[in-house]
Amino acid sequence: MSDRLIIFDTTLRDGEQSPGASMTRDEKLRIARQLERLKVDVMEAGFAASSPGDFDAIQAIAHAVRDVTVCSLARAMERDITLAADALQYAKNSRIHVFISTSPLHMAKKLCMTPDQVLEQAVQSVRLAKNRVSDVEFSAEDAYRSEEDFLCRVIEAVIHEGATTVNMPDTVGYAIPALYGNFIQRLRERVPNSDKAIWSVHCHNDLGMAVANSLAGVKIGGARQVECTINGLGERAGNCSLEEVVMAVRTRRDYFGLDVGVETTQILAASRLVSQTTGFVVQPNKAVVGANAFAHASGIHQDGIMKARDTYEIMRAEDVGWSANKIVLGKLSGRNAFKQRLLELGIQMDSEADTNAAFAKFKELADRKSEIFDEDILALVSEDNVAHRHDQYALVSLSQHSETGETPQATVIMTMAGKEVTGSANGNGPVDASLKAIEIHAKSGAEMVLYSVNAISGSTESQAEVTVRLQKSGRVVNGVGDDPDIVVASAKAYLSALNKLQNQASRVAAQG
């Protein structure tokens, strides 16, 4: 058995399925480039048949990424497989990931198919995919709740048909580590041709055990691929977190005895990029990438760390990219230094005009804030903070007044379809008043389901990063806004979310 663990990142597919985490093509491309720097083995770039937008994003990623295998998900049906193969046509290394449910519940209630029909369709779909690419993964959706005899028949048949990886998802996050590990081990023992494919684990986090279950699948079960996402992003409670699995295997090499190819110093940059792009804030006590992950508050711990680091530290902060969190630029930094830092952060601007616009914003920020961190630069160029020609709304200016004992009041000047409009409103606080002033003209009718504020670099001088999640007619979008002024950041985030709702509405209409 190999002693290399394959890291399959599905941030751009399973992660993106999380309500509000949907990303534009350019956002996906930027994350894909970071995943390449992170040196994951495989990236699932999307689900080509799910929308023309996803197809385009996969195609763009397949063009841009050279050092990582690019994968598209496909249901076990001809149209999906054809679209996945077409989207991946220009990839240097491509994989089609075919799936069908195998649990009695899913087969009867979701697919309305008999087990024999499912078996037949699984085999047919792997055959079709194999006609287009050599690297084919088969997933038995809801594998963990499937009948083992049937599951073994399916796996044996798809491996016989040429599947090179077989994945056993705990789709609903129901597994317990030892039980899941034993499950994978039993399957590997019972399937006669099990040694002809790589076994993969894919665990959801509904009971908070996705990472533990995945590691048990590796250690007890002998799986050699883990499917995971940056920050554990994903539907409901999320997926197995990439940074936790990678650092567990690396830190406890004595126990796992496995190598991972991931460039761990890129972990923090990946975490920040995904968080800033989706608006899903990382909790401070999150392992590896949380703001407190390497902070030692108690005097006893601090004293110990100063005497010998390993008294309280099992990993080095710089090994996961924390040392990169340095003051990089300031008021006196010139255009070349700014451009250089963009390059180091892996940000490619589309044109010289975009670079100039970003530099102007940087100068504006440097006038208000003496230390500019990497996170500030990422925020400056994040999609949510860049005005697009097709945006319905843009902030022009905002003024607000609040005083103890007085009702807060705000006036917002914004453009709406290119026309300048002004709205004034009162509210419970200055943020509330500003968003109400925007709504006077926007009249979105959307419900706000989340509002959160995060200090980008940890002090009162830092920029506020506000996330606003809006819901309307079953659609959920996140808007992110950054500014040293919390009220302005809130207005930017709100307008960004409104633009996304608007863009999604026109996209659906355009597809008919």
Binding site for ligand KIV (CB under 6 A): 14, 99, 139, 141, 169, 171, 202, 204
In the complex with Zn ion, the residue whose CB is nearer, 168 or 381, is 168
Asked if 14 touches Zn ion (CB under 5 A), the answer is yes
Asked if 142 touches Zn ion (CB under 5 A), the answer is no
Selection from ligand KIV, Zn ion, none that 95 binds (CB < 5 to 8 A by kind) is: none
In the complex with ligand KIV, the residue whose CB is nearer, 215 or 488, is 215
In the complex with ligand KIV, the residue whose CB is nearer, 9 or 14, is 14
Buried b (16+ CB within 10 A) or exposed e, 395-404: beebebeeee
**Strands of 216-345, DSSP E:** 225-228, 327-329
Q: How far is CA 296 from CA 271, 306, 460, in A?
A: 21, 11, 21
Q: How far is the CB of 186 from Zn ion (least distance, A)?
A: 22
Three-class secondary structure assignment of 259-278: ECCCCHHHHHHHHHHHHHHH
Cα gap 98→129, rounded to integer Å: 8
Buried b (16+ CB within 10 A) or exposed e, 105-128: ebbeeebebebeebbebbbbbbeb
DSSP label of 417: T
Selection from ligand KIV, Zn ion, none that 27 binds (CB < 5 to 8 A by kind) is: none
| Span of 10-18, 84-92, 366-374, 486-494 interacting with Zn ion by CB under 5 A | 10-18
In the complex with Zn ion, the residue whose CB is nearer, 14 or 137, is 14
Q: How many residues bind Zn ion (CB under 5 A)?
A: 1
Q: How far is the CB of 137 from ligand KIV (least distance, A)?
A: 9
| Span of 6-14, 57-65, 181-189, 489-497 interacting with Zn ion by CB under 5 A | 6-14
- Token pair, residue 457, equals 């670099």
In the complex with ligand KIV, the residue whose CB is nearer, 141 or 465, is 141
The residue to which tokens 């590691």 are assigned: 215
In the complex with ligand KIV, the residue whose CB is nearer, 105 or 449, is 105
In the complex with ligand KIV, the residue whose CB is nearer, 95 or 369, is 95
In the complex with Zn ion, the residue whose CB is nearer, 14 or 41, is 14
Q: How far is the CB of 239 from ligand KIV (least distance, A)?
A: 8
Long-range CB contacts for residues 366-372, cutoff 8 Å, separation at least 24:
366/329, 366/330, 366/331, 366/333, 367/331, 368/484, 369/461, 369/462, 369/463, 369/484, 370/330, 370/331, 370/461, 371/327, 371/330, 371/457, 371/461, 372/327, 372/328, 372/329, 372/330, 372/333
Selection from Zn ion, ligand KIV, none that 264 binds (CB < 5 to 8 A by kind) is: none
The identity of residue 322, as a single letter, is W
In the complex with ligand KIV, the residue whose CB is nearer, 184 or 328, is 184
Q: How far is the CB of 258 from ligand KIV (least distance, A)?
A: 22
In the complex with ligand KIV, the residue whose CB is nearer, 202 or 286, is 202
| Span of 9-17, 172-180, 311-319, 408-416 interacting with Zn ion by CB under 5 A | 9-17
Cα gap 480→451, rounded to integer Å: 10
Asked if 36 touches Zn ion (CB under 5 A), the answer is no
Q: How far is the CB of 252 from ligand KIV (least distance, A)?
A: 26
Cα gap 58→106, rounded to integer Å: 28
Residue 299 neighbours by CB distance under 10 Å: 8
Q: How far is the CB of 362 from Zn ion (least distance, A)?
A: 39
- Token pair, residue 432, equals 């509330």
Q: How far is the CB of 308 from Zn ion (least distance, A)?
A: 42
Sign of CA dihedral 280, 286, 287, 292: positive
**Alpha helix ranges (H) inside 39-173:** 52-64, 78-87, 104-105, 115-132, 148-161
| Span of 8-16, 57-65, 316-324, 503-511 interacting with Zn ion by CB under 5 A | 8-16
The residue to which tokens 């004034």 are assigned: 424
Quick one: CA torsion of 80, 83, 85, 90, rounded to 10 degrees?
-160
Cα gap 493→482, rounded to integer Å: 8
Selection from ligand KIV, Zn ion, none that 18 binds (CB < 5 to 8 A by kind) is: none
In the complex with ligand KIV, the residue whose CB is nearer, 146 or 171, is 171
Q: How far is the CB of 97 from Zn ion (least distance, A)?
A: 11
Q: How far is the CB of 434 from ligand KIV (least distance, A)?
A: 39
Selection from Zn ion, ligand KIV, none that 188 binds (CB < 5 to 8 A by kind) is: none
Cα gap 221→260, rounded to integer Å: 18
Selection from Zn ion, ligand KIV, none that 500 binds (CB < 5 to 8 A by kind) is: none
Residue 387 neighbours by CB distance under 10 Å: 12
Q: How far is the CB of 110 from Zn ion (least distance, A)?
A: 15
Q: How far is the CB of 174 from ligand KIV (least distance, A)?
A: 11
Residue ranges binding Zn ion (CB under 5 A): 14
